């Protein structure tokens, strides 16, 4: 039986419940699509030899909504709320990437104050996303307390978002040409207060989880991703940097006001295991929280006065042409490719989401792991399913 036939047979035997199919000395196990550790509606067919994973076949599509086709039926302004749903844990970042793409297509100059606000929101959302990862990664390894700690600080960020745009999850705040509203009274003071809290709490996180010996034993040397394999599969974001590759669009292809910010790019070093293992993927995100706080402080100190949105009419028709823009989101590079025919609606819109490529490499590095370790390996990639299915 060739590989394609083998894959087809596995898919036919997969079902929504966990089942075991004896094939000689091997078993096929369905993990998902509804399982407490799948990080969304993702089904994985595991081909195992006892407790050892031999092959993994991800089954996606449970969350497909046809976003790219929907974009063709809406004008450029109307599609902005849909970008919130690409990565609902990094909605501000998704808003920003789409807005920058349309602005490049139409040659729109964004006011300086709006650019600073955008970076401020993007970095707050990056921290919020990583805090959720911190909590769930603790739960993957049997620790419940980190979830409570992470959500405690995350609530402060959501309070800031709520006082700015009225929402706590999907924001529709960043708009083509700028932002929907200016920062409310008291925002800057509360943001500074959050930075003070976060800088203290990150040390608490390290004591509680990062350097916990049980946590290290479960994470170190698990799911090692070599840099050449990561690049070959298009892995981006913290997962790529954890493999020792110093690549971040905010530095390597800077956009908005990131060139004016002083911050470092954390990379994996194999501090407690091997470069590119699950612990490195975790720890890079923890270090990114510290760097995001550093960026936020600079934005709050430098933010200028002025307009918060360029004049973009409701009847908006960018010139015919095509453009591709990518941005550094919490999970990696989110890119939008837009083809315009000069009408109010995009002729074609393509979304390049990081979680899709990040998930694609998981089967390659899962061979030989224990089933229990596979759950941790998958969790360390911090995928989100709306990005994958779209």
Average confidence (pLDDT) over 246-275:
94
CA distances from 382 to 37, 125, 130, 199, 386 (A): 11, 15, 9, 23, 13
CA 259 to chain CA centroid, Å, is: 22
% the chain with pLDDT above 70: 92
Nearest to 335 by CA among 175, 96, 173, 114: 96
The span from the CA of 231 to the CA of 315, in Å, is: 41
| Mean pLDDT score, 162-180 | 93
56 has which bridge partners? Answer: 46
Provide the token pair at 137: 């990664």
User: Would the pLDDT of 22 be above 70?
Assistant: no
DSSP 8-state symbol, 310: -
Enclosing H/E stretch for 378: helix 371-380
With H, G, I as helix, E, B as strand and everything else as coil, classify residue 45: strand
Give domain 67-389's CATH architecture.
Orthogonal Bundle (1.10)
pLDDT > 80? residue 40:
no
pLDDT tens per residue, range 323-364 = 999 999 999 999 999 999 999 999 999 999 999 999 999 999
- Predicted confidence (pLDDT) per residue in 74-123, tens digit: 999 999 999 999 988 999 999 999 999 999 999 999 999 999 999 999 99
Q: Where are the domains of the chain?
A: 67-389
Taking the C-alpha atoms of residue 44 and residue 32, their distance in angstroms, rounded to an integer, is 6
Q: Which residue has the higher pLDDT, 44 or 21?
A: 44
pLDDT tens-digit readout, 49-70:
888 888 888 888 888 889 999 9
Quick one: tokens of 18? 């966990």
Contact 110, 103 (CB under 8 A): yes
* Contact of 95 with 83, CB cutoff 8 Å: yes
Query: What b/e string do you get for 172-184 counting C-beta neighbours within 10 Å, with b at 16 or more?
Result: bbbbbbbbbebbe
* pLDDT of the residue at 91: 94
Residue 27 has pLDDT above 90, yes or no: no
Q: Which of 30-34, 113-117, 199-203 has the lowest mean pLDDT?
A: 30-34
């Amino acid at each position: 039986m060739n590989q394609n036939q083998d894959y087809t047979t596995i898919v036919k035997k997969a079902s929504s419940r966990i089942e075991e199919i004896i094939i000689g000395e091997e078993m096929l196990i369905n993990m998902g699509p509804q399982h407490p550790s799948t990080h969304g509606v993702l089904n994985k067919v595991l081909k195992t030899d006892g407790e050892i994973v031999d092959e993994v076949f991800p089954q996606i599509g449970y969350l497909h909504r046809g976003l790219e086709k929907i974009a063709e039926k809406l004008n450029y302004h109307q599609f902005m709320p849909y970008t919130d749903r690409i990565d609902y844990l990094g909605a501000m970042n998704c808003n920003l990437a789409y807005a920058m793409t349309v602005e490049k297509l139409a040659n729109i100059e964004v006011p300086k104050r709006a650019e600073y606000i955008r970076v401020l929101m993007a970095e707050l959302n990056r921290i919020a996303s990583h805090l959720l990862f911190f909590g769930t990664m603790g739960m993957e390894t049997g620790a419940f307390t980190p979830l409570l700690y992470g959500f405690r600080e995350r609530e402060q960020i959501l309070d800031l978002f709520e006082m700015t745009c009225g929402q706590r999850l999907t924001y529709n705040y960043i708009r083509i040409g700028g932002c929907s509203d200016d920062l409310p009274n008291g925002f800057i003071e509360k943001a500074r207060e959050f930075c003070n809290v976060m800088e203290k709490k990150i040390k608490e996180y390290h004591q509680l989880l990062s350097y916990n010996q049980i946590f290290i034993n479960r994470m170190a040397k698990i799911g090692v991703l070599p840099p050449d394999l990561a690049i070959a599969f298009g892995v981006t974001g913290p997962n790529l940097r954890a493999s020792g590759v110093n690549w971040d669009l905010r530095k390597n292809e800077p956009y908005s006001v990131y060139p004016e910010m002083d911050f470092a790019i954390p990379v994996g070093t194999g501090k407690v295991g091997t470069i590119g293992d699950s612990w490195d993927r975790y720890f890079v995100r923890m270090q990114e929280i510290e760097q995001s706080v550093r960026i936020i402080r600079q934005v709050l100190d430098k933010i200028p006065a002025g307009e918060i949105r360029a004049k973009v009419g409701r009847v908006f028709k960018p010139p015919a042409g095509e453009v591709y823009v990518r941005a550094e989101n919490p999970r990696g590079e989110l890119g939008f490719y837009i083809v315009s025919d000069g009408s109010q609606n995009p002729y074609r819109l393509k979304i390049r989401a990081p979680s899709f490529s990040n998930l694609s490499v998981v089967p390659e590095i899962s061979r030989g792991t224990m089933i229990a370790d596979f759950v941790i390996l998958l969790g360390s990639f911090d995928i989100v399913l709306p990005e994958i299915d779209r």
